[in-house]
A and B are shown apart, each in its own frame.
Chain A
Amino acid sequence: MTASTPALTRRSALAGLGAALALPAIRPAFGQGAPIKVGVLHSLSGTMAISETALRDTVLMMVDWVNSKGGVMGRKVEAVVVDPASNWPLFAEKARELLQVHKVDVTFGCWTSVSRKSVLPVFEELNGMLFYPVQYEGEEESKNIFYTGAAPNQQAIPAVEYLMSKDGGEAKRIALLGTDYVYPRTTNRILRGFLKSKGIGDADIMEEYTPFGHSDWQGIVARVKRFAGEGKKTAIVSTINGDANVPFYRELGNQGIKAEDIPCVAFSVGEEELAGIDTKPLVGHLAAWNYFMSVPGAPNTEFKQLWQSYIKNPKRVTNDPMEATYTGFRMWTQAVEKAKSTKVDDVRAAMIGQKLMAPCGYEEEMLPNHHLSKPVLIGEVQGDGQFNIVWKTPNAVRAENWSPFIPENANRRR
């Protein structure tokens, strides 16, 4: 990954230059038409680089993969990589650059909700197409965005239901811990509504937010311990994002919070995030996703092999947003082939109803609300940094991007 970075910037610079000079390039395998351009809008520096660089690599891997199969409609696919540097307004500028200067046909990008909100008006104004691969809080629908990550009913709600079930430990009190921004706050609002509907009142819910990159968790973990010591089985629901997770889990381990007593289910912690922690004290804590690297089956084996041979490192892990990127990319190629066009309006129409046997082991379908049907999996952290799947839905769940647990959505058609 590191060695390829300078080459990439050069390539993307050349791509712009090449288009400007309109030089006849030598493309023996791809005879007809100009290359199809795929924009990559992921942060390669700043706080989000830790998560987003792997997604950039996934898109580049898919570009190589599709070219090795002869391209899309016989045309070569070319990636244009830009770096929005974890800077939310810069996301909008870079999106405009991709659409107006590089004239990309489709874009894969964004991780945080705030970056997506920042580029959304640009994609709508210039009629671009964005594939957003991360689980999010819902409450959004744009004709220019395809959401390949989970909506709240495909992650948060089933996870809390699991905690309240017999197998999950019959939790009666919930501590909602999160990073202070739109995704955790909206998710927790939905969860509060859901918990109320299950008879868990405000007295049995604790809610705490911390800044991005928070590293001193002593006080909060001690308070959770006290909250749990009030006579009812307690569980933690974590929407803590990014770098703050490592010190949080260290503190859980050091204060001796065992998963048997206070299980913690996380919505933003995957294999990549666990790579920086000694997971032995965390065995039994949970994560809810739509994909784990440990999913059995041929589609996942194929995905993992593709990734590890592309990145030339047999130890690199795969995770849920990478799988969502992979699934989105493959559905996009299918839709382009079906529409026989790369025009946004044609591909959009062809996208709805696309199906793919995804690496998660289920067939996923693009729904008319631009979200995917996805299975929900609950995994337990193991000593080796992988997840052991302890619960899963029997079928793929249809996405509800407008949550019924938010009162304002009552009048919305579903």
Chain B
Amino acid sequence: MKHFILVLGVLLWLALPARAQDAFTAALPGLAGGFGDIATSVEQLGTAGDPRALPLLRALQEGKLQKAPDGRILLPQGADLADAATGQPADAAGAETVRLNNRVRQALRGALGRLQLVSPDAAERAAAADAIFRSRSADDVKPLQTAIARESDAGVRARMELALAAAQLVAPDESAKRDAIARLGAAGTVEARALLLEARTANPGLITAIDVSIASIERTLSLRQAAETLFQGLSLGSVLLLAALGLAVTFGVMGVINMAHGEFVMLGAYATFMVQEACRGIPWLAPWSLPLSVPAAFLIAAAAGAALERGLIRHIYGRPLETLLMTFGVGMILQQAVRLAFGAQNREVSSPPWMQGTLMLPGGISVTQNRLWIIVFGIAVLLLVVAAIRFTRFGLEMRAVVQNRRIAATMGIRTGRVDALTFAFGSGIAGMAGVALSQIDNVSPNLGTGYIIDSFMVVVFGGVGSLAGTLVGALTLGVVNKVLEPYAGAVLAKVFVLVAIMLFIQRRPRGLFALKGRAAES
């Protein structure tokens, strides 16, 4: 009898993993089927508890899993393929990649989440917790509780607890559910509110508790939304500032109505593209291509600006109508020249990793990285312009020529050279704006046309000739635009801003920061 029990025990012990393996092999053929079959198989593999499931599912996620014409599933092993069921090497003839769709990706995220909850890598555990939060089911409660008990990283544990709350919300335990509702309410995120709203219809008994939590989330969200709108406004403002700064020099200081300004911005964006292509072959240089393109864009646009000033504009100083028409024509020539040289298609300027994705600020405010960097870049360029005008000899000569050309000339300043340098400087700044715009807009020959009106608007609104006016004008327009947008829509918000500026200019023709004194009279 004792022997019998022992034998039975051994048999059972042997049978357990065998059953797990059966579940694994039973799930495999589904992977060769349609998307629905693949999703079912993935779910089975996620709960089969077989160690071979994790590498298999990872290979599927990376698009490396193959299916043979006879329906066997092949897993890459080094350079070769192996039969996933037997582990034996298999021949790759006629094998096709197992394809994914969104339904499979969803199932895959949940299954991988369950399997990676015990991963030694903290980042993977955190990703697993987030995945379970999204795919949650009542079965996740137990494994999450064990994982939380073991977890040493506080950040990962917080995410696991949130996932646990999400799972408890769909589990039958009523008191755990109440607890989960309170914790989700405290989390204060859009995702938590989505779960609560979903649970609201399924749990009529808990509606009051759920509503309390939702109301608390909504309070946090409205504050956060205000902060995010402000950030979006500042970001749009910094883009406007960058586009307008060059014009603040060429139009604001020199008084040249340069309709080709947008095309200098476009040249800067293409310079970024060219630097990126040049750096592509050199691995250690490639990550630095974006910072490197800042001086390159400055020089290319400045050279184009100097050529335009020396070749054309200097002959028609003081004749605004001719300047306007001629620079407009130059702009069109530049556009078509770039279209002939690079083609009408958009050029891809990729973003470095540090400019991708979203940054979470304390308080749950999320800001996109690329926008954040553009704000920083805008401020840096503004400081550079201010410093160049205030503290360099070139800046001093420039101010002297603007204030009184004749006296400056009698003091030995070569005014023609200063004109050329000033115009080149303004154009170069436009080129630097192009580097930033290549990160958020199309790099196409039309890039500049979208910004020329906005740039003039900012400079005129802020006050011609005043850098502080340009800064305040750009930020005001950006924030007002973004605050209006949710109520009026993107099209009407723009119209409102234009009308407001027209009214404002009627009352204060010299803009926000009007120059005073003799310079303003001339």
| Same complex | yes
Instruction: List residues of A whose CB falls within 8 A of some B CB.
Output: 1-2, 5, 44-47, 49-50, 53, 166-169, 180, 208-211, 213-216, 218-220, 222-223, 225-226, 228-232, 243, 246-247, 250-251, 253-256, 259-261, 263, 272-273, 275-278, 281, 284, 380, 388, 390
Question: Does the CB pair A276–B490 fall under 8 Å?
Answer: no
Binds A, one of B164-172, B229-237, B250-258, B421-429: B229-237
Residues of A near B347 (CB, < 8 A) are 276
Chain A's closest residue to B484 (CB) is: A219
The yes or no answer to B51 lying at the interface (CB within 8 A) is no
The yes or no answer to B491 lying at the interface (CB within 8 A) is yes
The yes or no answer to B344 lying at the interface (CB within 8 A) is yes
Bound-state CA distance A175–B100 (Å) is 24
Bound-state CA distance A49–B357 (Å) is 31
What are the 7 closest A-B residue pairs judged by CB atoms, nearest first?
Answer: A276-B346, A231-B197, A229-B190, A254-B368, A210-B490, A218-B232, A49-B344
Pick from A167, A208, A255 the residue with the most CB of B within 10 Å. Answer: A167
Bound-state CA distance A275–B356 (Å) is 19
Bound-state CA distance A129–B450 (Å) is 35
Chain A's closest residue to B108 (CB) is: A260
Known: A180-B491, A260-B105. A229 touches B194 (CB 8 A): yes
Question: Does the CB pair B444–A168 fall under 8 Å?
Answer: no
Bound-state CA distance A124–B276 (Å) is 50
Residues of B near A223 (CB, < 8 A) are 486
Question: Does the CB pair B482–A219 fall under 8 Å?
Answer: yes
Bound-state CA distance A259–B106 (Å) is 9
Question: Does the CB pair B239–A50 fall under 8 Å?
Answer: no
Offer 12 A-B interface pairs, CB within 8 angstroms, sorted by A: A210-B491, A226-B225, A229-B190, A230-B193, A230-B194, A231-B194, A231-B200, A254-B357, A276-B347, A276-B348, A278-B351, A284-B101
Residues of A near B198 (CB, < 8 A) are 231-232
Question: Does the CB pair B339–A208 fall under 8 Å?
Answer: no
CB proximity of B103 to chain A, nearest CB, Å: 5
Residues of B near A281 (CB, < 8 A) are 356
Question: Does the CB pair B106–A260 fall under 8 Å?
Answer: yes
Residue among A45, A243, A251 making CB contact with B336, cutoff 8 Å: A45
Residue among B191, B440, B489, B491 making CB contact with A229, cutoff 8 Å: B191
Known: A210-B491, A225-B190, A243-B444. A219 touches B344 (CB 8 A): no
Known: A247-B442, A277-B348. A260 touches B194 (CB 8 A): no
Bound-state CA distance A45–B440 (Å) is 23
Bound-state CA distance A168–B491 (Å) is 31
Question: Does the CB pair A275–B345 fall under 8 Å?
Answer: yes
Residue among A168, A208, A213, A254 making CB contact with B102, cutoff 8 Å: A168
Residues of B near A46 (CB, < 8 A) are 446
Residues of B near A388 (CB, < 8 A) are 99
Chain A's closest residue to B358 (CB) is: A256
Residues of A near B200 (CB, < 8 A) are 231
Bound-state CA distance A325–B494 (Å) is 37
Residue among B36, B193, B344, B442 making CB contact with A167, cutoff 8 Å: B36
Contacts A209-B490, A250-B440 supplied; 5 other A-B pairs, CB < 8 Å? A45-B335, A209-B489, A216-B236, A226-B225, A278-B351
The yes or no answer to B369 lying at the interface (CB within 8 A) is yes
Pick from A46, A216, A226, A281 the residue with the most CB of B within 10 Å. Answer: A216
Contact with A along B139-180 (1 / 0, CB 8 A): 000000000000000000000000000000000000000000
Question: Does the CB pair B356–A253 fall under 8 Å?
Answer: yes
CB-CB contacts below 8 Å: B181-213 with A: 190-191, 193-198, 200
Residues of A near B228 (CB, < 8 A) are 222
CB proximity of A157 to chain B, nearest CB, Å: 20
Residues of B near A180 (CB, < 8 A) are 491
Pick from A1, A213, A225, A229 the residue with the most CB of B within 10 Å. Answer: A229
Bound-state CA distance A270–B465 (Å) is 45
Residues of A near B450 (CB, < 8 A) are 213, 215
Residue among A231, A246, A259 making CB contact with B105, cutoff 8 Å: A259
Residues of A near B109 (CB, < 8 A) are 260
Chain A's closest residue to B109 (CB) is: A260
Question: Does the CB pair B490–A166 fall under 8 Å?
Answer: no
The yes or no answer to B79 lying at the interface (CB within 8 A) is no
Bound-state CA distance A402–B102 (Å) is 33
Residue among A215, A229, A254, A273 making CB contact with B369, cutoff 8 Å: A254
Bound-state CA distance A209–B489 (Å) is 7
Chain B's closest residue to A313 (CB) is: B343
Bound-state CA distance A50–B450 (Å) is 15
Bound-state CA distance A230–B217 (Å) is 12
CB proximity of A375 to chain B, nearest CB, Å: 18
Residues of B near A208 (CB, < 8 A) are 489-490
CB-CB contacts below 8 Å: B454-489 with A: 482, 485-486, 489
Bound-state CA distance A44–B450 (Å) is 19
Question: Does the CB pair B102–A169 fall under 8 Å?
Answer: yes
Question: Does the CB pair A276–B371 fall under 8 Å?
Answer: no
Question: Does the CB pair B99–A256 fall under 8 Å?
Answer: no
Residues of A near B486 (CB, < 8 A) are 219, 223
CB proximity of A213 to chain B, nearest CB, Å: 5
The yes or no answer to B321 lying at the interface (CB within 8 A) is no
Known: A166-B36, A246-B442, A250-B440. A53 touches B232 (CB 8 A): no
CB proximity of B507 to chain A, nearest CB, Å: 27
The yes or no answer to B370 lying at the interface (CB within 8 A) is yes
Bound-state CA distance A251–B441 (Å) is 10
Bound-state CA distance A389–B112 (Å) is 25
CB proximity of A271 to chain B, nearest CB, Å: 11
Chain A's closest residue to B450 (CB) is: A213
CB proximity of A71 to chain B, nearest CB, Å: 30
Residues of A near B232 (CB, < 8 A) are 216, 218-219, 222
Bound-state CA distance A208–B488 (Å) is 10
Chain B's closest residue to A279 (CB) is: B348
Question: Does the CB pair B190–A47 fall under 8 Å?
Answer: no
Question: Does the CB pair B442–A276 fall under 8 Å?
Answer: yes
Question: Does the CB pair A50–B336 fall under 8 Å?
Answer: no
Residues of A near B36 (CB, < 8 A) are 166-167
Residue among B197, B345, B369 making CB contact with A50, cutoff 8 Å: B345
Question: Does the CB pair A243–B442 fall under 8 Å?
Answer: yes
Chain B's closest residue to A221 (CB) is: B368
The yes or no answer to B134 lying at the interface (CB within 8 A) is yes
Chain B's closest residue to A285 (CB) is: B102
Residue among B100, B357, B369, B371 making CB contact with A218, cutoff 8 Å: B371
The yes or no answer to B340 lying at the interface (CB within 8 A) is yes
Question: Does the CB pair B105–A214 fall under 8 Å?
Answer: no
Residue among B102, B343, B346, B351 making CB contact with A246, cutoff 8 Å: B346
Question: Does the CB pair B356–A219 fall under 8 Å?
Answer: no
Residues of A near B100 (CB, < 8 A) are 284
Question: Does the CB pair B101–A167 fall under 8 Å?
Answer: yes
Residue among A1, A220, A275 making CB contact with B348, cutoff 8 Å: A275
CB-CB contacts below 8 Å: B1-60 with A: 35-36
Residue among B190, B196, B341, B491 making CB contact with A211, cutoff 8 Å: B491
The yes or no answer to B375 lying at the interface (CB within 8 A) is no
The yes or no answer to B443 lying at the interface (CB within 8 A) is yes
